[in-house]
Structure 1
Amino acid sequence: MPKVRVAIIGLGSWGECHLEAFRSLPQVEVVAICDAREELVRQLGEAYSIPDVYTNADELLNRDDVDLVSVVTYEDSHYDPTMKALQSGKHVFVEKPVATNFRESTAMWQTAKEQGRLLVPGHVLRFDPQYAEAHHMLQSGRLGKPVSIYLRRARPRALFETYQRTHTVFELTVNDLDIAIWYAGSEVKSVKAYGRSVMGADVPDLVWACLEFANGALAVIENHWLTPNEANIMMADSVEVVAEQGIIGFEVQHAGLQTWSGQGRDTSALHIHLNRNGRVSGALKEELGYLCDCILSGEDPVQTSIGDAIQGIKVAEAIIESIRTGREIKL
């Protein structure tokens, strides 16, 4: 059976999830991993039986036996390894956000086209059954065209201690921008956004963004890092799409596993990535498996869209500008 030979750059907690997911796919061989932390990459190499480990991405990218590079570095560090991987003739899966500015994202896409390689954004929600089924319903035409899209994403305060390294728009909002663009099937025409810094950080921990699309659809996105830690709710996300002839909606918080004990309540998000006794499941595995199947078959991975992802970066910059100036931004 032919296999896609994969290398992973960046081995934080999400990078290790990539490693687990790729290793669970029968059509994949993970040939190398890379992280600047030598002890970590050596430990993971031993734990997952990866033959070659690197602390220097350039050395890894000089190999000619890698088909696909998965870039899972920090949010503002995607550009360099992605460009070098594409220029060395490799396909690239780059985690969201593909970049933290529009100029870098368009340069990456242009290089991919020049090299004839795939550049695939890591927007895993397109492979989450609930988000995907909502899109399928909209595409079927049964409910008519979408008129209003509301997307909410909330995370615990404790996580903000780590993720305030990146503007909330590029950490949280970028997920919902991709879904809004996917659902609307249109480009964003204008943006008006608001931000608040409740905890006093340099970047807002609460963002509201109002989008108007060229086809007339509207979207409201609410994101924050303000769920009390004591609530033990990792994800309090919700979706509502009002279409011409019906409504689609769901709440992630109430769809997952919940546990009550003497220590309080705990909610677990099991739909994105789960590894139990070495058996991996979830949307991440589906996403990476789909890409590898497309590489082997030569098909275009149409369930993902680098064009939509780059539009999302352009809109993200407009949201930040609207928050800064208090003005509506025309795109």
Structure 2
Amino acid sequence: MSKKLSLIFLTVLLAVVFTACGTTGGGTTDTAANLSNGSSDGAPAPKVDEELTIKHQLGETKVKKNPQKVVVFDFGTLDTLDKLGVQVTGVPQANIPPYLSKYQDAKYVNVGSLKEPDFEKINQIGPDLIIISGRQSEAYQELSKIGPTIFVGVDNAKYMESFKQNMTLLGSIFDKASAVEEELAKIDATINNVKEKATASGKNGLIVLVTGGKVSAYGPGSRFGLIHDVLGFAPVEKNIEVSTHGQSISFEFIVEKNPDYLFVIDRDAAVGNESPAKQVIENELVKKTKAYQNGTIVYLDPNYWYLSGGGLISVAEMAKEVEAGLK
């Protein structure tokens, strides 16, 4: 009987010793010790979340790599993440461009509109990352209280530089750097081809936005200025006011400047109003211009140019549209 008791005592003692060894230290050290001692479970060391400190136009934000619950207010960013196969949780479902219509599905949380975020819905998500651009800049402080928020607006004065910086940033956050580099290389190839053709043509252009029957012009350095600054079309007028809403012009202005190419963006079509830009632009005055007479009025897709832009899909399509309009 005494031998049996001794054996039981020894077994209990050994169990206590091994338990103590297994709980000495913590976290990664624990697992490493188990593995080095021939642990049969083969469990890997727990992964420590990598955190990035991102400096942007509105501040500095700490963001964990590969965030899981992502709210996106910028459609250019949304088309980029879609291209990269990154899942998002919440989007503003009002005025989503047709090429991103999949995000109108009920499986995505509707977080308001581009100008009016639904703070309550966003708070319910508990986002790991919120991505905004110009239209939401005034809500930055409020959104930052809910979750890490970064600003990714494109700088129109240096469009491609800021666009590429934004794409590289998204590639870093979501571990998609090589995919981003590949897509940027394709976009560069298209842009270089368009620029070469536009420069060789020696033609000039005028960019206009049509809304409510009125027309505004945009020149170099403006929100649509990449047609001049990046794609190589000389501006028919260099001193057009640079502003968000463009410089209000008359049809007489268009006739006076007589551009070789007239690039038209229909804002009404983008926001669901019925006032086709073609009916506004192709009046008796504009019909006197070289652009009309030579068939070089180019109607650009406002879903890329007005609603989104600045994304891997939208910038690629914008360059292709201008290329298709070249004659």
Do both proteins adopt the same fold according to a TM-score greater than 0.5, normalized to the shorter chain?
Answer: no
Which one has the largest radius of gyration?
A: 2
Which structure's residues are more often strand, by fraction?
1
* Smaller-chain TM-score bracket: 0.3 to 0.5
Normalising by structure 2, we get a TM-score of 0.33
Greater fraction helix = 2
Give TM-score scaled by structure 1 length.
0.33
